[in-house]
Structure 1
Amino acid sequence: MAETTSGLALFQQSHARLLQQFLELERQQLPPDVIDLQLMDIAEAIVRDHNTSALIAGELRLTDEEEREFRSNVRGLMGGGALMPLLEREDVENIHILGHDRVILSLANGDRIPGPALAGSEEELVMMIRHLAATAGHTSRRFDTAAPILDLRLASGHRLFAVTAVAERTSIVIRRHRMLQSSLERLEKSGTVTAPMIEVLRAAVRPPNPANMLVVGGTGAGKTTLLRSLLSEVPQSELIVTIEDTLELHLRSSGLHERTLALETRTANTEGLGEISMYDLCRAALRMSPDRVIVGEVRGGEVMQLLQSMGIGNDGSLGTIHAGSTRAAINKMLIYAQRSPDSPTPDSVLREISEVLHLLVYIKKLPDGRRAVTSIREVVGYEEGRVVTSEVFAPGPDGVGVYTRPFKADGEPLARLVSAGFDPRVLGEPYRPGPHVPRAQLAPARPMPAQPAPVPPAHARTVPGRPQPPDRLPGPYGQRPKGPAPVPPGRPAPAPSQRPAAPAQANPAQARPPAQTAPAKARPPAQANPAKARPPAQTAPAKARPPAQANPAKARPPGQTAPVPAERAR
């Protein structure tokens, strides 16, 4: 213990000097390997000075083990040494760095706790991440104001995402892969999958006719872990080509599959040249004669290359996609396909999905922190401009998927599962919710507690020694009684109504014998309208016009009559 402490103490004493030299070399924009060599030379000089001073003072020099410990700490400083203690914690899932002085650790149990500061300033933090980008990844990457976004895989296999210049403070997120040695059995022990699901998933990836599948879920749901577990069931004799934006599967390094060819995208250089996209890698993978093509995350036009790979005989190809459900994943694929340079029509994309894709598996993070497969959906076919699917496993009462519907008897997914030795009878009977129980039978009825008497309103309460208002009666609410109002004392009672009682027939005009019809209402001629009344036999007299006033030009002598027209005379 003393030897380790001495080596660590020397590193702590020289940490400020080493860090200052490291930042100075970074500012000179030297190549990463040159920076490493010069910094190690400085470290060797520190060790020699310490041993010389110890001999002069009569103290013990550093042992070989202490010198190796010191050099290891120096290399850790160049490769993000401040991150190493956090990355080595098995209970940490994600590390959120919000500036140089604020660190938040997301634990596996769902808790979030503060962590130690990683750097003394923003500049120091940027320098550390810049060196990681140049040395730790599969390919060298930039991290500066011209390229402020970094997506990187660390040497330990964890994924780092950083952003600077376009953010208020340099921010970093590191996702730790806690289950590199994944398997379906381990997922069953953790409650992610059930035994019936394992039977389906294991048969889906095994030869001779493996199914093409897509793992669906949100960010941090466990898609990569589930995909890695599925690939652990693939025979070692098959050649697998993986295509990822940032390497995360690690099939060969973790011992899951030896015959693996891992491809990773590359960003452009300062001149904007040299970019290798997911679409380019998918096209290149088809020329490598793989047995299976695995796309780590489908999020663009590469979905068409994946579908093409599934359709040309690379059965058992897999991929992951971000979506809220298995049904929504099909719409996401249609949207991504429109970004392809091939510019396919929506109908052709849906038809190809229905022909080459067989299963959709949805995994999510439950509210209690567990990750569980909640849905498995089979692709049945194409009908009326849509992809027809059937949900075989659906969310159960506890959130984990349960067997709810059998596979289509004549469907291709079931035929592929059966070819691998799958027996549908192992699934048992489909889950059905229990019968509805009336509420009265769930628990014995409890007597209602006695309710207190209602308090009457203030205007209805009686006051001792004061007469009750004449329009109210004593009572809790002072309701007005039906019938005539009570007579207050000292007031004479109203006289009874003098109106005689109506006869039995309410309307004499309407009363008639049963066989007699109502007589017509006669109106006297003189009383109807005196202005228009005339004798019955008398016609209306002609209007007399004075001769002088009618027309002076046509006036005649008094004894002369008007001539009769010839037609009327005949």
Structure 2
Amino acid sequence: MASLSERLDAARREAAAEGRHTADTADTADGTPEVLTEPTADEAPEPAKEKAPGPLSVRAAATTNGDTRSPQRRVLAAQEDRIEDLKSSVHDELLKQLGPHLYDAEMDQDDLEQRVRTVLSDVMASQDRPISTADRVRVTTEISDDILGYGPIDPYLRDPEVSEVMVNGYADVWLEKSGRLQKAEAHFADEAHLRRTIDKIVSRIGRRVDESSPMVDARLPDGSRVNAVVPPLAIDGSALTIRKFATDPLTVNDLITFGSLTPSTADFLEACVRGRLNVIVSGGTGAGKTTTLNVLSSFIPSDERIVTIEDAAELQLKQDHVVRLESRPANIEGKGSVTIRDLVRNSLRMRPDRIVVGEVRDASALDMLQAMNTGHDGSITTVHSNGPRDTLSRIETMVMMAGMELPMKAIREQVASAIDLIVHQMRFKDGSRRITHVTEVERMEGEVVTLQDIFIFDNSAGFDESGRVLGRLRSTGLRPKFLEKLAGQNVAIDPSLFRAEHR
């Protein structure tokens, strides 16, 4: 039997050997230990045999060549390039066969669409490149949108949930949905592709956009408002903004459902319009002024003659007797311009019962005040401003733009005499659009026009968990001074509408 000292020495050697083994090993990918000690000369490995490159080898080679994409991504990219090449060749062949028919303004749109789809089907059938059914449908749809519609943004223009499409250069497209901005996946092929789309939009209504006239306001056939700015004014490429036109215009019940106003406020505004009060709808950009103007205009009795005046026709009045006028910019020689002010002055000779102006933004404010003060009661228009008091200040400034050099007191007397009611609205952070003030314009007191809030937005309830506004319009408890004027038009208002609401 070994002595105690021999057994201790053997135990120490075993422990030392076990420690070296632990230090010289590491876990492999599958969890088994792999010895990392250097092989001896007798154990030198044989030269590695060449093997077919596996996925890891491919990835390493791609990284070496500067392409860090995975094999799947490279396959998808190659497939996308193949589809783009196919689209380009089909598009070119389509242009060769149809030629000038695509840009014939006298050709009926239905006939053009039928001819394009027939030729497109023939061209796709003649392609010898293998293509799946899904890709064939995609190529056909995208080329149809490009030739007959507005390219990659066409699907968004058909989407009822999209209210605005914004193109900030050919590769940067944004959308507005439910009042919130989000980036779109679509993009134009290049700047020339975007410019062709812009030219297609503006040429259909006789407008143009180029370096000599780099800004244009236009509209689509459905009435959607279009603004385009091209280089050199647009530094990063052409900018295109399309505010969609609702095919089914919102009604007062829709605004009540959305929380933009309350039923009592809607009843009050309807009585004001039927009672021929002059109303200004104010608010910031995108606050929903035109929608509110449309709703207010729907309260006008159908037996009255209405003249609408707009930069780009957007209003959708359902009455029987409506005359629609639209301003016109100057031609390439700088002549032929017809402004909103020209149309307002001309409308006074058209025997209007009501004048509805889409927006007052310049010296036409003076002519609008003159119309309101010369027997054309019941006129309605919109103004950009931050609040009811700012609305009056803006109108004063625009009147001074007419160059008449009127004293400020005379301008304010005209404003106080002409305007009866200001309806102000805002777009909140959550994307909702709410009427925040329904304000009466009373009279002059010294040098100041006095205002009185009839309804005001109460936001004391704050916001819910998702950040949505919980406030609502509430009556201030004040009775407007123009109730006698409404009574003279045989319009009565329930006094309970003005009862102060408890929070």
The 5-angstrom pairing of residues 36-435 of structure 1 reads 43=116, 46=119, 50=123, 74=144, 77-108=147-178, 110-117=180-187, 119-135=188-204, 137=205, 140-165=206-231, 166-168=233-235, 169-178=237-246, 180-206=248-274, 209-251=275-317, 256-396=318-458, 397=460, 398-408=470-480, 411-413=481-483, 415-416=485-486, 419-431=489-501
* Structure 1 residue 180, shift from structure 2 partner: 4.0
Quote the Cα distance in structure 2 between the aligned partners of 1:380 and 1:317: 17
* Structure 1 residue 325, shift from structure 2 partner: 0.5
Could you say if the C-alpha distance between residues 373 and 45 of structure 1 is closer, same or farther in structure 2, counting changes exceeding 3 Å? Answer: closer
Quote the Cα distance in structure 1 between the aligned partners of 2:194 and 2:150: 9
The 5-angstrom pairing of residues 470-481 of structure 1 reads none
Quote the Cα distance in structure 2 between the aligned partners of 1:212 and 1:363: 17
Identity score, percent: 27
Quote the Cα distance in structure 2 between the aligned partners of 1:357 and 1:129: 39
- Name the structure 1 match of 2:17: none
Give the paired residue count.
398
* Structure 1 residue 364, shift from structure 2 partner: 0.9
Quote the Cα distance in structure 2 between the aligned partners of 1:258 and 1:16: 51
| Matched-pair contact (CA < 8 Å) for 1:199–1:422 | no
- Name the structure 2 match of 1:476: none
| Matched-pair contact (CA < 8 Å) for 1:243–1:282 | yes
- Name the structure 2 match of 1:64: none
Q: Greater share of helix residues, 1 or 2?
A: 2
Quote the Cα distance in structure 2 between the aligned partners of 1:122 and 1:24: 25
| Secondary structure in structure 2 of the residue aligned to 1:348 | helix
Quote the Cα distance in structure 2 between the aligned partners of 1:389 and 1:359: 9
Quote the Cα distance in structure 1 between the aligned partners of 2:250 and 2:279: 18
Quote the Cα distance in structure 2 between the aligned partners of 1:200 and 1:157: 30
| Matched-pair contact (CA < 8 Å) for 2:309–2:356 | yes
| Secondary structure in structure 1 of the residue aligned to 2:376 | coil
* Structure 1 residue 152, shift from structure 2 partner: 1.1
| Secondary structure in structure 2 of the residue aligned to 1:115 | coil
* Structure 1 residue 311, shift from structure 2 partner: 1.4
- Give the TM-score, by structure 1 length: 0.63
Quote the Cα distance in structure 1 between the aligned partners of 2:85 and 2:319: 41
What amino acid does structure 2 have at the position aligned with 1:242?
T
What amino acid does structure 1 have at the position aligned with 2:365?
V
* Structure 1 residue 174, shift from structure 2 partner: 1.2
| Matched-pair contact (CA < 8 Å) for 1:392–1:407 | yes
Quote the Cα distance in structure 2 between the aligned partners of 1:257 and 1:200: 21
What amino acid does structure 2 have at the position aligned with 1:197?
T
* Structure 1 residue 234, shift from structure 2 partner: 1.2
| Secondary structure in structure 2 of the residue aligned to 1:211 | coil
| Matched-pair contact (CA < 8 Å) for 2:441–2:449 | yes
- Give the TM-score, by structure 2 length: 0.71
What amino acid does structure 2 have at the position aligned with 1:211?
L
| Secondary structure in structure 2 of the residue aligned to 1:249 | coil
Determine if the alignment matches structure 1 residue 18 to structure 2 residue 91: yes
What amino acid does structure 1 have at the position aligned with 2:150?
G
* Structure 1 residue 413, shift from structure 2 partner: 5.0
Unaligned runs of 5+ in 1: 1-9, 58-68, 434-570
What amino acid does structure 1 have at the position aligned with 2:392?
I
* Structure 1 residue 416, shift from structure 2 partner: 1.5
* Structure 1 residue 21, shift from structure 2 partner: 7.2
**Larger Rg, first or second structure (1 or 2):** 1
* Structure 1 residue 171, shift from structure 2 partner: 1.0
Could you say if the C-alpha distance between residues 194 and 152 of structure 1 is closer, same or farther in structure 2, counting changes exceeding 3 Å? Answer: same
What amino acid does structure 1 have at the position aligned with 2:485?
A
What amino acid does structure 1 have at the position aligned with 2:272?
A
Residues 33-86 of structure 1: per-residue CA shift (max 9 Å, x gap)? 2899998898488369559969xx9xxxxxxxxxxx989975862442433211
| Matched-pair contact (CA < 8 Å) for 1:184–1:229 | yes
Quote the Cα distance in structure 2 between the aligned partners of 1:87 and 1:432: 44
What amino acid does structure 2 have at the position aligned with 1:210?
R
| Matched-pair contact (CA < 8 Å) for 1:374–1:399 | no
| Secondary structure in structure 2 of the residue aligned to 1:284 | helix
Residues 480-534 of structure 1: per-residue CA shift (max 9 Å, x gap)? xxxxxxxxxxxxxxxxxxxxxxxxxxxxxxxxxxxxxxxxxxxxxxxxxxxxxxx
Residues 327-356 of structure 1: per-residue CA shift (max 9 Å, x gap)? 110000000001115443322211111112
* Structure 1 residue 158, shift from structure 2 partner: 1.2
| Matched-pair contact (CA < 8 Å) for 2:224–2:245 | yes
| Secondary structure in structure 1 of the residue aligned to 2:180 | coil
| Matched-pair contact (CA < 8 Å) for 1:18–1:43 | no
The 5-angstrom pairing of residues 21-32 of structure 1 reads none
Quote the Cα distance in structure 1 between the aligned partners of 2:484 and 2:433: 26
| Matched-pair contact (CA < 8 Å) for 1:211–1:413 | no
Quote the Cα distance in structure 2 between the aligned partners of 1:179 and 1:134: 22
Quote the Cα distance in structure 2 between the aligned partners of 1:99 and 1:71: 23
| Secondary structure in structure 1 of the residue aligned to 2:202 | helix
| Secondary structure in structure 2 of the residue aligned to 1:304 | helix
Unaligned runs of 5+ in 2: 1-82, 129-138, 461-469
Residues 214-236 of structure 1: per-residue CA shift (max 9 Å, x gap)? 00111111101111011111122
* Structure 1 residue 426, shift from structure 2 partner: 2.4
CA RMSD of aligned residues (A): 3.6
| Matched-pair contact (CA < 8 Å) for 1:337–1:343 | no
Quote the Cα distance in structure 2 between the aligned partners of 1:430 and 1:19: 69
| Matched-pair contact (CA < 8 Å) for 1:266–1:277 | yes
| Matched-pair contact (CA < 8 Å) for 1:301–1:336 | yes
